[in-house]
Structures are given as C-alpha cells and as structure tokens.
C-alpha cells in the first residue's frame, strides 16, 4: 500500500470498507432472518419441513385369520409377490411424446415376455392415464426374479424404471377342501364371499389407514420407532376363533365323502356337537370344494348343506314325539300300544310299518321304528301340543348360528288347524322340514338333560394385540323337556343300536350309544307325491349314553346303493364317533356290544308284504331272557337250548363243527344270551345283571352246540 499512489490506496481502502459493510450487512441479515425463522416462526417452519420430509402411505390391512379351537389356521393371509409400475418414473427424461411412447412400447414388450402377458394389452394399459399400475398380481418366484433383473441397473444396460415387486396379501386355505363350505372364500377384490368370510367380512378386513413415514433420497418410505409393527397390529383384521376342531372336522369329512361315493348319493352332511355347551366341533358337507381355487368348482359344491338344505326327517322325529308324550303323561313308559300288525287307516290314507308288529312298548316302538305306534302317540298328544313340543326342540326356526343362508325349516303354523293325518305324519317325521344342524341340536337337548342350546360356532373375536373383543358362551334357549324324560328316552334309544334295533351298525364296542335311524321318502317335485326311489337316510345319536360327550347327526341325500338309515348313515356315525372318542381320550366303559346283523328300517311297506321272520336263535334268546329275569344272585340254571341251533350259527374259523367263543363281557343277560346263541353255542347262566366272566374265555374254540358258562353280577 505504501508504494501505491495515495489516491489509488484510498480507493482500495474505500472498496474494502464498503465490501466489509456489505458483508456485515448480509451477515446481520442472515442472523436476523435465522432468528426470525427459528425463534419467532420456528414452529411453523418445522411443520413445513416435516411435511416435506414425510409422505402419507395408504396401508391396506392384513385380513384376519380364521383358526380352530386349538389355534390351528383354517384361513390366513400370506404375502405373495405382485408387480407394480410407476408410469411417471418410466417416462422420466423422455422429452417428446414420441420418446415416451417408444419407452412404453419397449417396456411392454420386455415385461410381457417376462410375465407371460399379452404385449398389446399391456401396452394399452400402460398408455392409460394415471401414475400407478398393477402389472400382474401374484407372480411366481421365477417371474419376480425376472422383473427384478429388468429393473436392476447393475445387471441390465437399459433398466425399466419405476418397476416394483411388492408383497400383496392373498387369502390362503392351508387345508384345501377342509371346512370349505363353512369358511367360504375371498374374491380377488378382497371381499368375503359366502360362509364365515362373508358373515364376518367387516371384522376380518380390519381398517385401512393413512400413516406418515420418512422419505429417503430415493423417495422410499422408511418407518421408525416400530411404526410398521404398530401399524400392522392396529389395522389388521380380527382373528376368528372357532369352536370347530380341525381333527374332528377332518374325520367327519373323510367318512362322509367315502359314504357319499360308495352309496352314490347326491350329497350328505355330518354335524358333531358337544351337548354340554353347544360347541359345534364339526360341520361337514359334501360335495365340497378347494377354496384356494373356488372358480373351478360348480357353485352347488359351495353350499353348506348342513344349514341350507331342509329335508323331511322321517323316523328320527319319533324321539321328540315320545318326549312330549311322556312329559304330558299321554303315554306310560311300560304301556303296550297296538301297532295293528303293520297296517293302519287314517284320514283316507293307509300307514304301513316295515315290520308287522302288534303290541309294542314305547321302547320297542323306537327300537323297531314303528310308524303306527308313533302316530298313535302323536294323536294322543294332539296337534297343538305336538307343535309346541317340536318347536320347543328348535324345529321350524333358525338356530341362531352366525352364518348367512340358514334355513329355518318347515313347521306349519300353530294357528292353522292340523287334520288328524297331518298330526299323524308329523309324529313320525313327514310333512315337516328340518336341517342337519337343527336335528343335531335337538338331540343335544336330550343328551344334556332337556336344555335346548344355541349352537356355538365362533368362540371369540381377537384383535391384533391378542385382546378379546367379543366372546360367545353357552346360552340356553329354552327347556325343551325335563331331565327325567331325557334320561328315560336315553335308555330307550340305546335299544335302537342293540340287537333287535334298527341301527346295530351304529353300536360301538365299549360304549352305550343312544340314537335313532330314519329312512324318509322324498317328495317328487313333478308329481307332488312321495317318490318310490328317492330317499334320505339319516342317523342321529349321542354317546356315551350315560354321560354324553358327542352328538352326531348324519344325513345322506338320495343314495342309489341302498337307502336305509341303519345301513348307510349309522356306520358313518360309528366311524366318526370311534375316531373322535379316541382323539378326545374318552375311555370305554364296558365290553363290546355291536352285532353284525342289522335290521333294516324303512318308511313304508306295500300292503300285504310279509315281515322278516325271526330265526330260531332270536326266539331262544327271548326265552333265555325271560328265564334270566327271574334268576336270583346265586341261581345256576342249566343250558338254554335253542329250537334250531343250526339256524342261528354263523360261519366261523376252524372246522365246520367248531366255533369260536364270542366276546360278551359287559353285556346285559339278554344281550349276552343272544351273542352266545348267535355263535352256535349254548349259554349257561349264573347270577343276574351284567356278564362279568365267561368260561371258557372269548377266542376259545369249542364244538358247535357246546355250553358256555356266563357269570352275571348286578351293576355296581
């Protein structure tokens, strides 16, 4: 500066001062502005900054699960890859419409090749207005990998911009056909269709919400502080916990399908109920379908026949007729009723029995399934009281189960006068309509001592955090009958599955089974009269009779191979019950009781048809029982000799002159005598009550006609 011209030096100093003042003013302004923004306007600017850093995301909730009573999944939602495309990112940088169209065309060709799509249709969709496009839903793993390759700039010289492979929820049924008619299905738009998926659609769908998140440099959403997990828990649909037991449901469906196919039936149902609380443990319907691929099946296969189909129940209704008659005192348990030798005229019509009987007790009427005996009891009860009894057991009204499409059945209004013929028909199950679920709940009322329960299909609804939102507990709708009448009927219904009854194929070794068969003619829709070749075969019952754990109702619709309920439906009952009792750990209470010679039961027999003639062994067994009934504890009778031993002997192992001693331990004297006689041996009774020991033991080989000692003791 000293060597400079003074005037030039002054100019430089002036410029320096001026520059310093300008910089100082600018600094002061920055400081003032910063103070203004951060202190005085800080809250507003921070809110603006957050809005710029955050973006709103529309979160689609995951659909809730449907699980069985043991938390095993019956329906759940899984994430499957789907391909999306941001059309703005795809054409970003292309300055002219021609360049943008060329980029869309190139991307459509390459994507269509990777995803097996029509390139022309895909290009048309990509050219439409809008920014977001689902290219393809639910792609395979190979397709997802191919799309990622097309979008990766490190692997593809000309990557397709805007491509995304996102997880998209898909409804999945891990057990395929299991409980499909009960569960229903979900359409591609996420709407529940049929069954539980439809009835609880709003609960299962959850609620869609908009959540805020931070954007990274690439504009991708980043959740912090566990927001993603919290969003999932708070928005996902509720879990439905059913009373259904997956294992029992599987057993019921397997046995039902086998029976429908073997007997070439149109369809069938099996309902399993816990009579103590109304829990529906299984509800099987066949035909059924794979809910994962519902569009490939006929819509008729998606119908839940257990609640949607009503049918004339036939002889199973005799049980409820007698329940009302006993409660009203219209008939005594030991009274003999004239069954008119299998033929009775009423109201211009002739009612027939399959077996020609004369005097029968109520127990025998149920065991032999006499229409005439039942209608006489129904007429004594009267039309109005019979209506009240049937309505009391839940017929003619919905059960209250949380499912759409339930049929309430048919029971003519009380205000309309029933003529005698209608009353007679209703007494043995004609002229009324019921569903399989109604039938099961009616028998559950008998099994639990007379209480008609509301069926429990759903036990509770649970949110994403495991909190119970709603719960279904045992609910008694009404007292259908008295505990005394229910116990009395249980004892009578055991005779149906014992020798001489119509459902010996429903008996189970070690358990006393109470039940009733039905073989009901169906009405021909063309003629309006009962068809001669279209039937529904049913069996409903419960066990163990002394402390029921299970009620099972089985119905086969229009079987072509056979049609008797005791021959078709009772074996299904037995197989489902045997497996279910083992699964539940219910220990047998007594020895084997099942015989292998069923007595078929039918709704009607043409006039003049001769009844089946009982073999000599049956007559001898009755003689033996009559003698045994008068035996004291220390009595020791000689052998009871059948009139024609050869007529009663069944083929057995060993030589033609030898038979194997059958197992009869635990049976009553009458039944033990029948079992031994049926094997071609002579019973020698000692004592009274139930058989506790037999000499020689079961499995031994004896000459035909040899004596077997049966030691009886009174029940403890």
Give DSSP secondary structure letters for 354-382.
SS--SEE-HHHHHHHT-HHHHHHHHHHH-
Please state, rounded to an integer, the average pLDDT across all residues of the chain: 82
pLDDT at 714: 74
Domain 616-713, CATH: 3.30.10.20
Of 112, 226, 241, 87, the C-alpha closest to 164 is 87
Task: Give strand ranges (E) for 162-249.
Answer: 163-172, 185-186, 192-193, 209-215, 221-222, 239-242
Which residues on neighbouring strands pair with residue 557, listed in sequence order? 267, 536
- Mean pLDDT (whole number) for 637-660: 44
Which residues are CB-neighbours of 642 under 8 A, at least 6 positions away? 616, 617, 619, 620, 648, 677, 682
Partners of 552 in the β-ladder? 272, 541
Determine the pLDDT at residue 210. Answer: 54
CA 381, 386, 388, 389 dihedral sign is: positive
Whole-angstrom Cα distance, residue 483 to residue 446? Answer: 8
pLDDT at 422 over 60: yes
315 is catalytic: yes
User: CB-based contacts of 84: which residues, under 8 Å, 6+ apart?
Assistant: 132, 133, 134, 135, 163, 164, 165, 166
pLDDT of residue 592 exceeding 70:
no
Class of domain 248-290+305-584: alpha beta
Query: For residues 259 and 103, what is the distance between their CA atoms, to the nearest angstrom?
Result: 61
Catalytic residue among 82, 315, 370, 374: 315
Q: How far is CA 464 from the centre of its chain?
A: 25
Alpha-carbon dihedral sign for residues 106, 109, 111, 117: positive
Q: Which residue has the higher pLDDT, 525 or 483?
A: 483
Statement: residue 181 has pLDDT above 60: yes
pTM of this prediction exceeds 0.85:
no
Helix axes 483-494, 436-447, angle to 10 degrees: 110
Q: Which of 466, 470, 463, 462 is nearest to 402 (CA)?
A: 470
Q: What is the pLDDT of residue 636?
A: 32
* CA 83 remoteness from chain centre: 37
Average pLDDT over residues 155-173: 82
* CA dist., res. 620 & res. 599, Å (int): 18
Burial class (CB in 10 A: 0-12, 13-18, 19+), 178: buried
Higher pLDDT, 87 or 605: 87
Mean pLDDT is lowest, of 4-18, 202-216, 562-576, for: 202-216
Q: Number of helices (H) and strands (E) in the chain: give both, helices first.
A: 23, 28
Distances from the Cα of 102 to the Cαs of 132, 133, 135, 514, 681, in angstroms? Answer: 19, 18, 18, 78, 96
What is the DSSP code string of 418-457? PPHHHHHHHHTT-S-BB-HHHHHHHHHHHHTTSEEEPPB-
Name the nearest CA neighbour of 691 among 623, 624, 598: 624
Share of the chain above pLDDT 90, in %: 43
**How far apart are alpha carbons 397 and 407 in whole angstroms?**
8
Residue 60: name the closest of 221, 231, 199, 238 by CA: 231
- The whole-number average pLDDT for the span 253-264 is 96
Residues 43-64 have pLDDT tens digits of: 776 666 665 555 555 556 788 9
> CB-based contacts of 652: which residues, under 8 Å, 6+ apart?
658, 659, 660, 679, 680
pLDDT for the residue 642: 36
Give the separation between CA 408 and CA 310, rounded to whole angstroms.
8
Contact 407, 310 (CB under 8 A): yes
Other C-beta atoms closer than 10 Å to the C-beta of 621 total 27
Sheet holding 550-557, edge to edge: 280-286, 267-273, 550-557, 530-543, 514-523
| Tens digit of each residue's pLDDT (9 = 90 or more) over 381-405 | 998 999 999 999 999 999 999 998 8
Closest CA to 505 of 599, 622, 364, 604: 599
| Nearest CA-CA partner of 215 in 364, 447, 55, 387 | 55
The reported pLDDT for the residue numbered 476 is 96
Q: Residues, the chain, total?
A: 716
Angstrom distances, CA of residue 5 to CA of 13, 15, 698: 12, 15, 140
Q: What is the DSSP string of 244-282?
A: --HHHHHHHHHHHHHHHHHTT-SEEEEEEE-TTT-BEEE
Q: 76-176, what's its fold?
A: Penicillin-binding protein 2a (Domain 2) (3.90.1310)
Q: Which of 118-122, 571-575, 680-684 has the lowest mean pLDDT?
A: 680-684
Percent of the chain residues topping a pLDDT of 70? 82
* Listed ranges 108-122, 238-252, 287-301, 666-680; the one with the highest mean pLDDT: 238-252
- Which band of pLDDT confidence, cut at 50, 70 and 90, is reported for residue 2? low
């Amino acid at each position: 500066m000293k060597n400079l011209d003074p005037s030039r030096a002054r100019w430089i100093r002036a410029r320096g001062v001026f520059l310093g003042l300008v910089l100082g003013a600018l600094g002061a302004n920055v400081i003032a502005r910063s103070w203004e923004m951060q202190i005085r306007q800080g809250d507003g600017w921070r809110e603006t900054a957050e809005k710029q850093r955050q973006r709103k995301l529309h979160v689609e909730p995951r659909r809730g699960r449907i699980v069985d009573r043991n938390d095993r999944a019956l329906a759940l939602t899984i994430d499957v890859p789907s391909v999306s495309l941001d059309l703005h990112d795809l054409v970003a940088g292309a300055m002219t419409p021609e360049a943008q169209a060329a980029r869309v065309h190139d991307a459509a060709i390459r994507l269509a090749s990777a995803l097996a799509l029509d390139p022309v249709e895909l290009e048309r969709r990509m050219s439409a207005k809008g920014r977001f496009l689902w290219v393809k839903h639910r792609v395979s793993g190979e397709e997802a990998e191919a799309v990622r390759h097309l979008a990766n700039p490190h692997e593809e010289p000309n990557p397709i911009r805007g491509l995304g492979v996102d997880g998209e929820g898909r409804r999945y049924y891990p057990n395929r056909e299991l409980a499909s008619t009960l569960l229903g299905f979900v359409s591609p738009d996420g709407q529940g269709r049929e069954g539980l998926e439809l009835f609880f659609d709003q609960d299962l769908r959850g609620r869609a919400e908009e959540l805020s998140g931070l954007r990274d440099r690439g504009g991708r959403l980043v959740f912090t502080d566990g927001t993603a997990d919290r969003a999932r828990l708070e928005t996902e649909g509720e879990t439905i916990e059913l009373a259904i037991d997956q294992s029992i449901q599987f057993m019921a469906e397997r046995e039902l399908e086998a029976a429908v196919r073997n007997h070439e039936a149109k369809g069938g149902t099996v309902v399993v109920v816990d009579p103590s609380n109304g829990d529906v443990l299984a509800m099987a319907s066949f035909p059924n379908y794979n809910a994962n691929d519902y569009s490939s099946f006929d819509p008729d296969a998606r119908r839940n026949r257990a609640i949607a189909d009503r049918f004339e129940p036939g002889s199973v209704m005799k049980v409820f007729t007698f329940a009302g008659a006993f409660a009203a005192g219209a008939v005594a348990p030991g009274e003999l009723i004239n069954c008119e030798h299998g033929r009775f005229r009423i109201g211009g019509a002739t009612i027939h029995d399959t077996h020609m009987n004369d005097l029968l007790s109520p127990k025998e009427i149920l065991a032999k399934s006499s229409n005439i005996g039942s209608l006489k009891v129904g007429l004594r009860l009267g039309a109005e009281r019979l209506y009240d009894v049937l309505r009391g057991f839940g017929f003619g009204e919905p059960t209250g189960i949380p499912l759409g499409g339930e049929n309430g059945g048919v029971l003519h209004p009380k205000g309309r006068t029933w003529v005698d013929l209608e009353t007679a028909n209703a007494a043995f199950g004609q002229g009324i309509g019921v569903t399989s679920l109604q039938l099961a709940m009616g028998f559950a009322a008998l099994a639990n001592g007379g209480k008609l329960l509301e069926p429990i299909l759903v036990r509770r609804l649970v949110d994403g955090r495991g909190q119970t939102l709603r719960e279904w507990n045992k609910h008694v709708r009404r007292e259908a009958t008295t505990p005394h009448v229910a116990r009395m009927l249980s004892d009578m219904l055991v005779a149906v599955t014992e020798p001489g009854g119509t459902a010996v194929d429903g008996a189970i070794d070690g358990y006393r089974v109470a039940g009733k068969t039905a073989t009901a003619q169906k009405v021909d829709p063309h003629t309006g009269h009962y068809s001669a070749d279209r039937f529904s075969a049913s069996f409903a019952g419960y066990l163990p009779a002394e402390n029921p754990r299970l009620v099972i109702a089985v119905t086969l619709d229009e079987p072509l191979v056979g049609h008797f309920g005791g021959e078709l439906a009772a074996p299904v009952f037995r197989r489902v019950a045997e497996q279910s009792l083992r699964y539940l750990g219910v220990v047998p209470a007594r020895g084997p009781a099942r015989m292998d010679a069923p007595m078929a039961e039918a709704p009607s027999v043409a006039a003049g048809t001769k009844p089946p003639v009982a073999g000599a062994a049956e007559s001898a067994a009755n003689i033996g029982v009559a003698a045994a009934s008068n035996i004291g504890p220390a009595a020791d009778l000689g052998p009871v000799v059948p009139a024609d031993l050869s007529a009663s002997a069944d083929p057995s192992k060993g030589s033609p002159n030898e038979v194997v001693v059958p197992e009869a331990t635990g049976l009553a004297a009458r039944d033990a005598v029948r079992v031994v006689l049926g094997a071609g041996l002579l019973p020698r009774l000692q004592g009274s009550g139930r058989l506790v020991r037999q000499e020689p033991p079961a499995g031994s080989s004896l000459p035909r006609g040899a004596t077997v000692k049966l030691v009886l003791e009174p029940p403890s």
